[in-house]
């Protein structure tokens, strides 16, 4: 009886059904399996060979020329996707042909702040009036942007039709109208008063 109970106690437990059938790898083995050499090993073709300094310089020069063509001269081949297309070009021309309050906001705000700092020492009452003027300018910029957006949307629908307008075209134009003319990218291609074609 005693021998029988020992035999049953020494039996190994049955294997689990659905086990993975192999031992778990150690951490060292798992990390070694994930290691890859630096420098893009496995990349084939032109990308595998590193560029020389002259080639890198030539690539930078090409990119600079493309940027100039796109942003300074309006060549759409090299523009970012957000600036491409006839709708975006027409929107830029529409905005650039008109003056807006928003394009003068930065200069007016800086001038008002400088005036405010000087007047705070001399006349607090005048400084308060200048601060009120800053708020009036801000309200004028917001109202101008809203009305400009409404007019732009009507003009875009009349020109291209509502179904062919890319999403965000009105915001694209309103955002451009809030920038100083010199800092707009792509650069303006029309003069003030010139109507877009």
pLDDT 10s digits, 115-138: 888 888 888 888 888 889 889 989
pLDDT at position 10, please? 56
| Number of compact structural domains in the chain | 2
pLDDT tens column, 157-172: 998 888 888 888 899 9
Whole-Å CA distances, 6 to 3, 10, 11, 15, 44 = 5, 6, 9, 21, 65
Same domain, residue pair 95 and 78: no
pLDDT tens column, 84-111: 888 888 998 899 888 898 888 888 888 8
Same domain, residue pair 101 and 185: yes
Mean pLDDT of 71-95: 82
pLDDT at position 108, please? 86
Q: Is 48 part of any domain?
A: no
Mean pLDDT value across the chain = 81
Mean pLDDT of 55-74: 79
Neighbours of 169 (CB within 10 A): 19
Cα(28)–Cα(83) distance, rounded to whole angstroms?
A: 51
Same domain, residue pair 176 and 102: yes
pLDDT at position 144, please? 93
Same domain, residue pair 131 and 163: yes
pLDDT tens column, 139-160: 999 999 999 999 999 999 998 8
Residue range of the domain that includes 165: 85-197
Same domain, residue pair 190 and 128: yes
Same domain, residue pair 104 and 61: no
Same domain, residue pair 98 and 132: yes
């Amino acid at each position: 009886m005693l021998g029988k109970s020992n035999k049953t106690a020494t039996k190994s437990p049955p294997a689990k059904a659905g086990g993975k059938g192999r031992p778990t790898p150690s951490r060292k083995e798992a990390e070694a399996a994930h290691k890859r050499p630096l420098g893009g090993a496995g990349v084939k073709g032109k990308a595998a060979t590193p560029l020389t300094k002259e080639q890198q310089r030539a690539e930078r020069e090409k990119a600079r020329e493309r940027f100039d063509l796109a942003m300074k001269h309006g060549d759409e081949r090299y523009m970012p996707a957000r600036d491409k297309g006839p709708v975006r070009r027409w929107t830029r021309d529409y905005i650039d042909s008109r003056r807006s309050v928003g394009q003068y906001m930065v200069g007016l705000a800086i001038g008002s702040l400088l005036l405010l700092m000087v007047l705070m020492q001399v006349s607090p009452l005048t400084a308060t009036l200048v601060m009120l003027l800053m708020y009036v300018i801000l309200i004028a910029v917001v109202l101008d942007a809203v009305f400009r957006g409404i007019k732009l949307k009507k003009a875009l629908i009349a020109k291209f039709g509502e179904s062919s307008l890319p999403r965000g075209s009105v915001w694209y134009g309103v955002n451009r109208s809030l920038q100083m003319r010199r800092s707009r990218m792509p650069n303006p291609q029309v003069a003030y008063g010139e109507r877009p074609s």
